[in-house]
Amino acid sequence: MKIGNYTIDKESPVFIIAELSANHNGSIDTAIETVRAAKRAGADCIKLQTFTADTITLDFKNEDFKITQGTLWDGQYLHDLYKTTHLPWEWHEQIMNVAKEEGLICFSSPFDPTSVEFLETLNVPAYKIASFEITDIPLIEFIASKGKPVIISTGIAEEKDIELALDACRRMGNLDIALLKCTSSYPAPIEEANMCMVKDLAERYGVISGLSDHTMGSTVPVVATALGAKIIEKHFILDHSVGGADASFSMNEEEFKAMVKAVREAESAIGKVSYTLTEKQRKGRDFCRSLYVVEDIKAGDVLTKSNVRSVRPGFGMHPKFYNEILGQKAAVDLEKGTALKKEVIT
């Protein structure tokens, strides 16, 4: 999968996305400064959300449209919430230009066909399907038909939902698909992260897998990295004092930077399968065990358990020869503390 100039595969570094979401809080200046802060924090990408209240829901004040699921937004009506949190479409181009100046990739989550058509005019390099849109098969088909990479969050998905979404993409001839493990709680309890799914998604469906994370802190992204995640997405906010609908489960610049550092260190720690020692590791073998003379030995004396032992350091014969040399004789005088060598044994 290639997004802009970034190639994502099994060997690539984790692609780290800073999710702007509603953290512009109604200010384009805040949105632009958030992009710059995301770059400073080490993100590879800034992601937007493209919708209006009318493209994502209906303006009704009945119980169907009232949030009552035990969320941060309980008591609000969907239309009211999305009206205050949407990113004005006229800001998109300017934000994307700033991202380009900063060397960040920028794309978006569209929520209906008109938002896809709008994003096409901005030549976005990829699309993200939000968790709650994974069941909108016609929308996924339309997005996939644009021939760009499609990243799908699986937060509320059952296995059949994932299969339908993948089939929709492939039906449109689009095989550039990534699946992100996601827990659609805000914030998400760490015990519900279920990071073993990162590996399973990749193996079961033959796609790139990753994480869209709503837990607090860096633990889950680090675990995801260790389990093969190639994309990590976290909500990003300029400062928690900005406030807004997503502020409580978003990372500020300092927190995000710490997460990026932890992820990059985890990548370094994972390394590659190799039984070849580095030069530093090879020097460490000086401290391994080997055979040493532990009592003065005269030429012709028999080597015994009393006068030869396996000890540190490692400059003598390999301990595997210990039983073999017992009963043999010394060819020369050997002082206590001498590394035993094959050539001094008769």
For the chain, which residues make up each domain, given as ranges?
A: 2-51+86-270, 279-344
Architecture per CATH, domain 279-344, reads as: Alpha-Beta Complex (3.90)
Encoded tokens for 18: 């800073």
Distance CA 12, CA 219 (A): 21
DSSP H or E run through 38: helix 28-40
Q: What pLDDT is attached to residue 158?
A: 95
Q: What pLDDT is attached to residue 22?
A: 92
Instruction: Report, as an integer, the average pLDDT of 100-121.
Output: 98
3-state secondary structure string, 249-283? HCECHHHHHHHHHHHHHHHHHHCCCCCCCCHHHHH
For β-strands 231-235 and 208-213, DSSP reports them as parallel
Q: Going by C-beta distance under 8 Å and a sequence separation of 6 or more, which residues neighbour residue 68?
A: 74, 75
Instruction: Report, as an integer, the average pLDDT of 290-309.
Output: 98
Q: What pLDDT is attached to residue 74?
A: 83
Q: What pLDDT is attached to residue 70?
A: 75
Instruction: Compute the C-alpha angle 21/72/260, nearest 5°.
Output: 45
Instruction: Report, as an integer, the average pLDDT of 172-176.
Output: 98
Q: Is the pLDDT of residue 71 over 80?
A: no
Q: What pLDDT is attached to residue 186?
A: 81
Residue 243 pLDDT grade (very low, low, confident, very high; cuts 50, 70, 90): confident
Per CATH, 2-51+86-270 and 279-344 having the same topology is answered no
Q: What pLDDT is attached to residue 247?
A: 86
What percentage of the chain carries pLDDT values higher than 90?
A: 88
Q: Is the pLDDT of residue 216 over 80?
A: yes
**173: alpha, beta or left, given left = phi > 0 and alpha = psi -120 to 50?**
left
Give the tens place of pLDDT for each residue, 18-46: 999 999 999 999 999 999 999 999 999 99
Residue 64 vs residues 55, 78, 104: alpha-carbon distances, Å? 17, 9, 39
298 compared with 245, residue with greater pLDDT? 298
Instruction: Report, as an integer, the average pLDDT of 233-238.
Output: 96
244 compared with 181, residue with greater pLDDT? 181
Residues in the chain: 346
What percentage of the chain carries pLDDT values higher than 70?
A: 100
The answer as to CATH 3.20.20.70 being correct for domain 2-51+86-270 is: yes
Distance CA 137, CA 163 (A): 11
Q: What pLDDT is attached to residue 246?
A: 84
Q: What is the mean pLDDT of the chain?
A: 95
- Strands (DSSP E) found in 236-336: 290-293, 308-311
**Lowest-pLDDT range of 134-138, 145-149, 183-187, 202-206:** 183-187
The neighbouring-strand residues paired with 308 are 293
Distance CA 38, CA 7 (A): 20
Q: What pLDDT is attached to residue 69?
A: 74
Distance CA 213, CA 106 (A): 18
Instruction: Report, as an integer, the average pLDDT of 146-174.
Output: 97
Distance CA 46, CA 107 (A): 7
Instruction: Report, as an integer, the average pLDDT of 92-113.
Output: 98
Q: Are the C-beta atoms of 17 and 221 separated by less than 8 Å? A: no
Residue 26 vs residues 21, 221, 323, 343: alpha-carbon distances, Å? 11, 29, 79, 82
Give the orientation angle of helix 253-270 with respect to helix 219-226, to 10 degrees.
20
Residue 185 pLDDT grade (very low, low, confident, very high; cuts 50, 70, 90): confident
DSSP state letter for 304: -
Q: What pLDDT is attached to residue 72?
A: 74
